[in-house]
Amino acid sequence: MDEVFGRRDLIAPARLKALSVKSDLRGFAQVGARLGALVLSGAALYLTWGGWLAVPVFIVHGILINFLYAGQHELSHWTVFKTKALNEIFGRLFGFILIYPRDFDQIQHFAHHRYTQDWEGDGELARERYTLTSYLLWVLGPTYWYTRVRRVIRFSLGVVSEPYIPDGRKAEVIREARWHLAGYVLIAVLSIATGSWAAVQLWLLPMLAMKPVHQLQNTIEHLGLPHVDAITENTRTTRTNALMRWLAWNMQYHTAHHAFPGVPCYALPKLHNEIFVESGRKPPTMSYLSFQWAVLRAFWNGRTEADYADDAIWISDDTDLEPVAPRLRPAKQA
């Protein structure tokens, strides 16, 4: 993703350059901490399987697997490691685990950044407008996983219909999907041959079951905000705690990320502070639970996403009433 989608009026170029520095050391710290936690939770789940203690361990393990996508997302931006190849290696690994091939994800996500909230171009808006039922099915996981698995199979068969995938890259995503499918089939064959349920127990089942927790992050970033070409209006920042920020690789600072996607995740808190807090600006902001409650109320009584104006905020709370633009200081009296 070499193209820049940021707003240069929000921060001095020299400061942006300083915040955009990548580090292999910090990258290994990011990836190592998450993979280390995953190994520990997987070992704990294996050892406690069959007892009540396995329930909380299962929940933790499933959440950790799903939030690997936060890492895949950052690796797709080439911002986790200074060494480009490391971003690709770990990005492909995470994509395989999540049944979300890296090349496809990059193409879709590039379209999302370039055409954020544009119904015609945004890769994440290539869907029907939500109803209450379709939204709940997506958040809870059934349609999410159906879409992911079906796409890998469809691409493997050579069928690529997504409008945001250029013709020149269709062969690439087809080849990638076939490698993924071959890997999944190999795991299935080995599992059957050895009589092992490890892949289901330690990977598929917790990943599928705990998807709703990760969907809290996936759904809050743009839904209910104006479909306008203004990052400080069409992208939401999330109020949350340090644990969730750790899980999501600081993606709760999502407005800052969309303004300057070349800034590594470990520098996003500083970026957010400089372009918003210190400048008196405020992006659209909500907490996870207040957002989900607002969405349910918005879709109640048969209303759908199509019932709300594209150029207005329709999911917000009181904190969104503060201005996005810098507050004007009172004029000095003579």
Question: What DSSP state is assigned to residue 276?
Answer: I
The answer as to whether 199 is a domain residue is: yes
User: Does residue 272 form part of some domain?
Assistant: yes
First to last CA, the chain: 51
What is the C-alpha to C-alpha distance for residues 144 and 324, in angstroms, rounded to an integer?
Answer: 33
Q: Is the pLDDT of residue 331 over 50?
A: no
- Paired with 237 in beta bridges are 285
- Compute CA distances 254 → 18, 110, 113, 275, 286, whole Å: 19, 15, 11, 12, 12
Percent of the chain at pLDDT > 70 equals 93
The reply to whether 103 falls in a domain is yes
Residue 334: pLDDT band with limits 50, 70, 90: very low
Task: Look at residue 65 and tell me if it is in a domain.
Answer: yes
pLDDT at 333: 43
Residue 232: give the domain boundaries.
Answer: 22-305
For 130, the enclosing helix (H) or strand (E) is none
List phi, psi (to 5°) of 287: -95, 165
Residue 5 lies in a domain: no
Task: Give me the pLDDT at residue 265, please.
Answer: 97
| 16, part of any domain | no
Overall number of domains in the chain: 1
Q: How confident is the model at residue 242 (pLDDT cuts 50, 70, 90)?
A: very high
pLDDT at 4 exceeding the cut of 70: no
Q: Are 324 and 282 in contact (CB under 8 A)?
A: yes
Residue with tokens 């969405």: 295
Question: Three-state SS across 23-64?
Answer: CHHHHHHHHHHHHHHHHHHHHHHHHHCCCCCHHHHHHHHHHH
Contact present, 314 and 224 (Cβ < 8 Å):
yes
Residue 322 domain-assigned (yes or no)? no
Residue 124 identity (one-letter amino acid): E
DSSP single-letter state for residue 317: -
pLDDT, average across residues 146-167: 97
Query: Of 1-10, 104-113, 161-170, 285-294, where does mean pLDDT reach its minimum?
Result: 1-10
Query: What secondary structure letter does DSSP report for 80?
Result: S
Residues 6+ apart with CB under 8 A from 63: 210, 213, 214, 247
Question: Stretch 188-217: mean pLDDT, rounded?
Answer: 98
Encode burial over 49-76: b for 16+ CB neighbours within 10 A, e otherwise: eeeeebeebbbbbbbbbbbbbbbbbbbb
Q: Is residue 123 part of a domain?
A: yes
286-327 pLDDT, tens digit each: 999 999 999 999 999 999 999 999 999 999 985 544 433 333
